[in-house]
Structure 1
């Protein structure tokens, strides 16, 4: 049995609204246990006897069928999530700058983002793992930050999602329960 964090991309923004209670009910139809949603932005922790890739496929299929949108998720197992958090050189709490981690289900996409993001003026990136890249943005300026604009491009939509480092920490804590 493995513990997973499942990060849904693009829900409760842009007209795609999924209530967390409805999401939990839908996920209960899958072979997942200890399903918990965190916050209202598509963060789920669960356990399963299948691989992360199988969880990804099951959850994306379910979301597409049940909620009728082009669903994409990134699934990270507990050891990888713990390593990502431990490796992040940026603080979890800072009133001036917020720390983010862009996660990907495709390391080649993360390579591409790291290469192009590293070319942006004023952008500092830290590669945390094959599936994770950390960066910071001024408080209140996240969406306008150069890396945020880069990672929001359509070519990254199906394989990436970004979370505040504090959210990853909350997911790790929820896995311990």
Structure 2
């Protein structure tokens, strides 16, 4: 069995509201083991003998059918999650700052976000691409208005990326 973390994109923000008990029931209904949800932002931990790609495809289909929205998920195995958390390149927990990991499904999306990095004001935000994700730290209160925040909000990225606070990822680690 492989342990996986599933990150749902855009849940309980922007009009897509799913109760975590209903989400867990949907995932269990697919036959996955060790299912638990973490926080109300669409995070699921599960175990499966299936590949990450198969888990992704099955969950997206089930979520679309059960909850009636355009569901996109990102699936990380436990080892990948650990490498991502342990690789966070910035000082964590600085007063007045948020620490994020941006998970993007495609290399070209990550490359486009990486191209934004030279334009960042390091007094307001910093970012680095590594371990297949974009690490980002930004002053509290400016997440959505920051240069990287605006870059991530492009409509064409909607199906391809999601972000999580590193503290949330810690809660998903087994």
Match of 2:162?
161
2:2–2:48 Cα contact (<8 Å) kept: yes
Match of 1:126?
128
Distance in 1 (CA, whole Å) between partners of 2:112 and 2:150 is 14
Match of 1:171?
172
Distance in 2 (CA, whole Å) between partners of 1:21 and 1:91 is 34
Distance in 2 (CA, whole Å) between partners of 1:128 and 1:71 is 26
2:34–2:46 Cα contact (<8 Å) kept: yes
Pick closer, same or farther for the CA change 1:167–1:91 going to 2, 3 Å: farther
- Paired residues in the alignment total 171
Instruction: Please list every run of 5 or more consecutive structure 2 residues that lacks an aligned counterpart in the other structure.
Output: none
Q: How well do the aligned residues superpose, as a CA RMSD in angstroms?
A: 1.3
Q: What is the CA deviation profile of residues 147-175 of structure 1, one whole-angstrom value per residue up to 9, with x for unaligned ones?
A: 11111111111111000111111111xxx
Secondary structure of the 2:159 match is: coil
Q: What is the CA deviation profile of residues 102-154 of structure 1, one whole-angstrom value per residue up to 9, with x for unaligned ones?
A: 00222332122212x22433152112212x11011111221222111111111
1:26–1:66 Cα contact (<8 Å) kept: yes
Match of 1:110?
110
Distance in 1 (CA, whole Å) between partners of 2:106 and 2:45 is 20
Secondary structure of the 1:137 match is: strand
Distance in 2 (CA, whole Å) between partners of 1:145 and 1:48 is 38
State whether structure 2 residue 147 is matched by structure 1 residue 146: yes
TM-score for both structures, normalised by structure 2: 0.93
Instruction: Please list every run of 5 or more consecutive structure 1 residues that lacks an aligned counterpart in the other structure.
Output: none
Match of 1:41?
41
TM-score for both structures, normalised by structure 1: 0.91
